């Protein structure tokens, strides 16, 4: 009988160190299911939340207006309710972002995906970028909730990505996230590897944007992503079941 162990990123591995791809639980437990498209309705949120609950998805990410609905549907489950702050461009004023985060938490969100101020980052106005993230982080951590800071890497050069990693490390955010999924491109494995190399282990990485297949999922996890954000969750699960069985 093979012996299994869990590594520090939640992968189940065989005794010889090979990846155990035959554990659907450890696929679904690393996914943030996104229901963020502008056309997503309450019915879409209800279907997504109930399916995510059955599968043991890590979190469901919904639009701020849908947080109360998602919180009610997921009450008593292991699935976290997440929402966005300053989405998708990051250009809201700092007090607006703070208030948006507070309102979301009041409504039942426990994970907040905040877009950094992309324009300020492009302008290398790092003090402003730091102030923006720090203000939201203070509000979120005061309630023991989770903050994920979205870089939107498709717009940034390597130096800017590195500086954002340093800021997130210094502030102690919970996650650094590659993309909104609404920029000109989504996550790349090279960006995830860069972020993992620069960030301390206490800052986790979420890859999002364009991750649609099971092989995408495995590739980004192997590159260093702790969470995978995708709207293709159920397609990935169906692909896993087709390849490996029911689970």
Following DSSP, what letter does each residue of the chain receive, concatenated?
----EE-TTS-EE-TTS-B----HHHHHTTEEEEE--TT--HHHHHHHHHHHHHHT-SEEEE-GGGHHHHHHHHTTSSPEEEEEESTTT--S-HHHHHHHHHHHHHHT--EEEEEP-HHHHHTT-HHHHHHHHHHHHHHHHTTT-EEEEE--GGG--HHHHHHHHHHHHHHT-SEEE---SSSSS---HHHHHHHHHHS-TTSEEEEESS--SHHHHHHHHHHT-SEEEES-HHHHHHHHHHHH---
Q: What is the Cα 43 distance to its own chain's centre?
A: 23
Q: State whether residue 19 is helix, strand or coil.
A: strand
Tokens for 45, please give them: 């949120």
Tokens for 117, please give them: 């101020």
| Active-site annotation, residues | 113, 177, 206
Q: What Rg do the C-alpha atoms of the chain give, in angstroms?
A: 17
Sign of the dihedral through C-alpha 165, 213, 40, 70: negative
């Amino acid at each position: 009988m093979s012996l299994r162990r869990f590594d520090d990123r939640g992968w189940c591995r065989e005794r010889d160190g090979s990846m155990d791809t035959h554990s659907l639980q450890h696929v679904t437990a690393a996914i943030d299911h996104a229901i963020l498209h502008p056309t997503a309705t309450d019915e879409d949120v209800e279907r997504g939340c109930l399916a995510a609950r059955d599968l043991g998805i890590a979190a469901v990410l919904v639009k701020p207006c849908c947080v109360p609905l998602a919180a009610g549907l997921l009450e008593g489950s292991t699935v976290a309710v997440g929402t966005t702050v300053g989405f998708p461009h990051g250009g809201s004023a700092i007090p607006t972002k703070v208030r948006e985060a507070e309102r979301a938490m009041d409504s039942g969100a426990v994970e907040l995906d905040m877009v950094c101020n992309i324009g300020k980052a492009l302008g290398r106005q790092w003090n402003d970028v730091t102030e923006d993230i720090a203000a939201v982080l203070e509000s979120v951590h005061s309630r023991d909730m989770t903050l994920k800071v979205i870089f939107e890497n498709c717009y940034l050069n390597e130096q800017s990505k590195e500086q954002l990693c340093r800021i997130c490390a210094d502030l102690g955010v919970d996650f650094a996230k590659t993309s909104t999924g609404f920029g000109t491109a989504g996550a790349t494995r090279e960006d995830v590897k860069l972020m993992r190399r620069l960030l301390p282990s206490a800052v986790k990485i979420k890859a999002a944007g364009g991750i649609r297949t099971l092989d995408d999922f495995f590739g980004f996890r192997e590159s260093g992503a702790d969470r995978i954000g995708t709207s293709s969750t159920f397609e990935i699960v169906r692909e896993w079941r087709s390849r490996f069985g029911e689970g």
